[in-house]
Chains A and B, each alone.
Chain A
Amino acid sequence: MQNIRIIPRLDIKGPNLVKGIHLEGLRVLGKPEDFARYYYENGADELIYQDVVASLYERNSLHEIISRTAKDLLIPLTVGGGLRTLDDIKLVLRAGADKVSLNTAAIKNPKFIKDAASKFGSSTILVAIEAIKQIDGRYLAYIDNGREETGVEVVEWAQQIEELGAGEILITSVDRDGTAEGFDIDLLKSITMRVTIPVIAHGGASNMANMADSIFEGKASALAIASIFHYSAMNKLIHSEEDFLEGNNSFKNSGKIFSKIKSCEISDVKSFLKESKIPCRPVI
């Protein structure tokens, strides 16, 4: 069994780290740089920055955040959100990203995956799938943060992604995102059975037993985790008021913790994995 990677995922809107539920209702949690550094120092294996409004606003602020962090956070950094052209990819790589995450542009034009993989190398291209379970049990891929339906079946799309030369797939269960109800194991399994490239589970990370299931049963190679890490990190990081000039700050300023979600640290997850005989890189 390979070493399972634990990847904090940071959704970014403008200058802020945000987190929503089902990819919507974004709350401001703090500065992405502070959280990124905290996760790096606490044993993160990689980081994901997802610009959640890139399709709506200009993206220079993200490039600045990448450049500021990539210099001293010496682990792989994946950046996604609104990347539509080979030039878009080149610019985020030049800013310091190691991999890019494609979704909307890839599903609208699958050849984009092939072009990107041949120009930048397969290992640089990750394709993200936003899956929503239908009433009939099928999983369909969505774009634009789970807002727009494509009619594309998730499993077929995953196979196509692999054939087109992507190095990795990140599968988000939009239904579970931000809920801490657990990764959707059936969704994971349906994909990992059909592709040989690594699959990162995302959406719903919660209790440890479910994490173990997502690895043993779901065959995930990595877990992308947001809410449960963010709510723990938030309490350890001290923010100044000017961090919160934009966006929905009422949650952050209220001093509430999200009572439904039991937060935890990367080290908690890694100790659990170790006890469960799941190999991972230890927190140093």
Chain B
Amino acid sequence: MNVAIIDYGLGNLFSINNACKLVGLNTIITSDINKISKADALILPGVGAFGDAINSLNENNLTQTIYEFVRTGKPFLGICLGMQLLFSESEEFGSHKGLDLIKGKVVKFPTINKLGESIRVPQIQWNQIYAEDINRWNESPLKNISEGTYMHFVHSYYAIPEENNNILTYTEYEGIRYTSAVMKDNIIGIQYHPEKSAEAGINIYRNWANYIINKSY
């Protein structure tokens, strides 16, 4: 199975590529529209600024390519900033329009919590993931991973989906409960870095790889 990892000049693709190979997926790192369309599955990676990312996707005609890919029903995975880009808009350095594949917005962690204590931003730590709906969890790449498993997180912004049934996992940071993964049909978005979360993280890739082949979890 061939997975295209979109190369639009943002972020370090080594570890995502490495994780795909570990679970037996063939990868191609590309911004070539034809190669992306022919792939069996697609990954949108990304670190950095939301605005730069969406501009870069637009400039490379990748936005349309992503929409067409998603319409085919083939698996599409957004990781970290790639997850945030799935949403309608972000407030990062002014307001930016996102891909709008999932309704909702992306906001920044406050630097002070409700108790007046300061919060470290970005959140950089191993944090736990929980199921919004355990049935949904079991029909996703999270199946056979225990609730409360620790994953590696690095981010300053988080997504707020409009519809609860898009929420796959939630996580708490300094008293803020937020959505850490989303799923809608063939689209999955993951805020944390499974590729940097030891064996448990690789299991998410392994389950997703099985889904690419069997079209079911």
**Interchain CA distance A3-B127 in the complex, whole Å:** 7
- In the assembled complex, B196 has its CB within 8 A of some CB on chain A: yes
- In the assembled complex, A93 has its CB within 8 A of some CB on chain B: yes
What 1/0 flags go to A191-203 for Cβ under 8 Å of B? Answer: 0000011100000
Q: Which residues does chain B contribute within 8 Å of A45, judged by CB atoms?
A: 125-126, 152
**Interchain CA distance A45-B81 in the complex, whole Å:** 22
- In the assembled complex, A177 has its CB within 8 A of some CB on chain B: no
- B122–A123 CB distance below 8 A: yes
- B111–A2 CB distance below 8 A: no
What 1/0 flags go to A179-193 for Cβ under 8 Å of B? Answer: 000000000000000
- A281–B126 CB distance below 8 A: yes
- B155–A123 CB distance below 8 A: yes
- A124–B125 CB distance below 8 A: no
- In the assembled complex, A76 has its CB within 8 A of some CB on chain B: yes
Q: Which residues does chain A contribute within 8 Å of B199, judged by CB atoms?
A: 74
Minimal beta-carbon separation of B43 from chain A (angstroms): 17
- In the assembled complex, B95 has its CB within 8 A of some CB on chain A: no
- A70–B14 CB distance below 8 A: yes
- A167–B198 CB distance below 8 A: no
- B47–A123 CB distance below 8 A: yes
- A196–B197 CB distance below 8 A: no
Asked whether A121 and B47 contact (CB < 8 A) given A3-B150, A93-B14, the answer is yes
- In the assembled complex, B7 has its CB within 8 A of some CB on chain A: no
Q: Which residues does chain B contribute within 8 Å of A4, judged by CB atoms?
A: 125
Number of A-B pairs, beta carbon distance below 8 Å: 101
- A121–B49 CB distance below 8 A: yes
- In the assembled complex, B138 has its CB within 8 A of some CB on chain A: no
- B14–A96 CB distance below 8 A: yes
- A93–B12 CB distance below 8 A: yes
Contact of B154 among A71, A97, A120, A123 (CB under 8 A): A123
Q: Which residues does chain B contribute within 8 Å of A222, judged by CB atoms?
A: 124
Q: Which residues does chain A contribute within 8 Å of B173, judged by CB atoms?
A: 2
- In the assembled complex, B210 has its CB within 8 A of some CB on chain A: no
Q: Which residues does chain B contribute within 8 Å of A281, judged by CB atoms?
A: 126, 150
- A120–B12 CB distance below 8 A: yes
- In the assembled complex, B201 has its CB within 8 A of some CB on chain A: yes
Asked whether A167 and B202 contact (CB < 8 A) given A75-B196, A221-B120, the answer is no
What 1/0 flags go to A95-122 for Cβ under 8 Å of B? Answer: 1111000000000000000000010111
What 1/0 flags go to B143-171 for Cβ under 8 Å of A? Answer: 00000001010111000000000000000
Range for the number of chain A residues in contact with chain B: 20 to 34
What 1/0 flags go to B125-145 for Cβ under 8 Å of A? Answer: 111000000000000000000
**Interchain CA distance A266-B134 in the complex, whole Å:** 33
- A75–B152 CB distance below 8 A: yes
- B18–A167 CB distance below 8 A: no
Minimal beta-carbon separation of B171 from chain A (angstroms): 11
Q: Which residues does chain A contribute within 8 Å of B152, judged by CB atoms?
A: 45, 75-76
- In the assembled complex, B15 has its CB within 8 A of some CB on chain A: yes
- In the assembled complex, A37 has its CB within 8 A of some CB on chain B: no
Interface of chain B residues 9 through 32 with chain A (CB within 8 A): 10-12, 14-15, 18-19
What 1/0 flags go to B175-217 for Cβ under 8 Å of A? Answer: 0000000000000000001011111011000000000000000
Q: Nearest B residue to A195 by beta-carbon distance?
A: B120
24 residue pairs from A and B, CB less than 8 Å apart: A2-B127, A2-B174, A3-B125, A5-B124, A45-B125, A74-B197, A74-B202, A75-B152, A75-B197, A75-B198, A76-B154, A93-B12, A93-B14, A94-B12, A98-B15, A118-B49, A122-B48, A124-B12, A167-B122, A167-B124, A168-B124, A197-B121, A198-B122, A198-B124
Starting from the known contacts A5-B124, A45-B126, 8 additional A-B residue pairs (CB-CB under 8 Å) come to A3-B125, A3-B127, A70-B15, A74-B197, A196-B119, A197-B121, A198-B124, A281-B150
Contact residues of B with A, CB < 8 Å?
Answer: 10-12, 14-15, 18-19, 47-49, 52, 81, 111, 118-127, 150, 152, 154-156, 173-174, 193, 195-199, 201-202
